[in-house]
Amino acid sequence: MQIFQKPANKVGGEFSFDGDKSISHRLVLISVLLRYEICLSNLSRCEDVKTSLKAVQKLGVRVREIGDFTYLDGSEVKEHSTDSEPIELYCGNSGTTARLLCGILACLKGNYILTGDESLSKRPMERVAQPLRRMGVDITCSNNDCFPVIIKSTGKTKSIIFENITNSAQVKSAVELASLALCKGEPPTQIIETNPGRDHTARLLKQINLKQPVIKSFTIPGDPSSAAYFAGAAALFNNSSVNLKNILLNKSRIGFYEILQKMGAEVEIISNNSTYEPYGDIVVKGKKLRGITITGDQIPTMIDEVVLLGIIMSFADGISEVSGARELRVKESDRIAALIIGLKQLNIICEEREDGFVIKGQNILNGSLKSNENILLKCFNDHRLCMSFAILALKSSNGLLISDSECVNISFPGYFERLKNFILE
């Protein structure tokens, strides 16, 4: 489905957001290993997290929805023989569901097969299979190291020293979760990272006792990646501001906001509290932006926002460069190639590189990018591209057509309606 996104001259407002998608996934999936009920508030309503909910239900987790609360009870989850008929778990479009499930299933004796949609079936799974094999898990990838993935789990693992060379938080989390089933006497698993990324799994595991409840309820802070599109849009208009309420402020997730500030936007981060994760408000006001260079050591803290940064760089003063972002090529699409294709359609001067891109800013801050409603930007069914191109359309003269608009539901249901309310002029 295509959508026509209108331009804007001014944006702003105060917004709250659904719970962080990464934390939502982890809490849902960890419920498989618990023998008691936990209560989640502000759980993400996106399609990816719904996929995780369906997967844990198939494994035996009881899910109850009461108002704004989601109750998950894993007390009836059962182990199975490795010779039994495999349990098929459909992972949809969700790489997080698929990879973290591999770590969860390493702890749950049985025979399993993981499948996904056309897009997910093309994404690499050997990167998670390799460390799990070293931990003693019988895991097989098909079709050029992709899906379907077959796991025959004994429910016991052994420790390893794992170097996370891809800096993938999903792979790291799978190893951390599989380590919950270490055989008696095994030393702790060691994980080595050059550029440390998201630590949500480690934080949660410090709070959760697999046998006896320590914390029974979790309020999930707002998703900083969803909020980033509104922050980025506000930064592009020098007469605009936005107040983002109760946002996750984990340092591994707010690199985008720090980069906005370095580019010249006015960014205020107001810490409210810290429980198992820090959270607070973020206020962003538009100012004249300047180009910036982003290197690989910064990428893990903004991996979901790099495409959006490419849009913002298109309007900054000077040349911007991103390197060390090769991981973007194995997301729902090749996000580096797709971003550059879209920008070149609009005559933005840019260059694709193996692990990033270079963009020459247009130095235009008041909505005069030449375009017309006949220009169609292809999103390759990638939600991050679609949402980012919608922000680009706000700076166009006449608006833009954007393909595959329904894919935003993967991470942000109601995104375009929210964006409509964000436009003031």
- For 6-137, strand residue ranges (E) read 12-16, 37-41, 62-66, 69-73, 87-90, 110-115
Cβ proximity of 301 and 292 under 8 Å: no
Residue 14 sits in the same domain as residue 48? no
Q: Residue 369's pLDDT is what?
A: 56
* 213 within some domain: no
Residue 14 sits in the same domain as residue 89? no
Tell me which of 185, 207, 229 is where a domain ends. 207
Residue-wise pLDDT tens digits, 260-296? 999 999 999 999 877 899 999 999 999 999 999 999 9
d(CA 19, CA 69): 12
Residue 311's domain is classified under what CATH number? 3.65.10.10
- The CA angle 133-136-142, to the nearest 5 degrees, is 35
Residue 97 sits in the same domain as residue 177? yes
Tell me which of 183, 207, 231 is where a domain ends. 207
Assign residue 12 a region: left if phi > 0, alpha if psi is -120 to 50, beta otherwise? left
> Structure pTM?
0.95
- For 47-108, strand residue ranges (E) read 62-66, 69-73, 87-90
Helix (H, G, I), strand (E, B) or coil at 328: helix
- For 347-402, strand residue ranges (E) read 350-353, 356-360, 376-377, 400-402
Q: How many CB atoms lie within 10 A of CB 187?
A: 10
Residue 8 sits in the same domain as residue 84? no
**How many domains does one find in the chain?**
2
Q: Residue 275's pLDDT is what?
A: 84
Residue 15 sits in the same domain as residue 78? no
Q: Residue 117's pLDDT is what?
A: 95
Helix (H, G, I), strand (E, B) or coil at 360: strand
Q: Is 390 exposed, middle or buried (0-12, 13-18, 19+ CB in 10 A)?
A: buried
Q: Residues 304, 317, 355, 404: which is the catalytic one? A: 304
Residue 163 sits in the same domain as residue 41? yes
Which residue range(s) make up the domain with 160?
21-207
Percent of the chain with pLDDT over 70: 97
CB within 8 A of 311, min separation 6: which ones? 232, 388, 389, 391, 392
Can you list the residues of the chain whose pLDDT is less than 70? Answer: 363-374
Q: Residue 367's pLDDT is what?
A: 45
304 is catalytic: yes
Residue 126 sits in the same domain as residue 227? no
Q: Residue 366's pLDDT is what?
A: 45
Residue 334 sits in the same domain as residue 227? yes
* 290 within some domain: yes
Residue 188 sits in the same domain as residue 254? no
Tokens, residue 290: 């300047």
Residue 201 sits in the same domain as residue 251? no
Q: How much of the chain is helix, strand and coil, in % rounded to 5?
A: 35, 25, 40
Residue 295 sits in the same domain as residue 354? yes
Q: Residue 37's pLDDT is what?
A: 94
Strand partners of residue 190: 161
Q: Residue 159's pLDDT is what?
A: 97
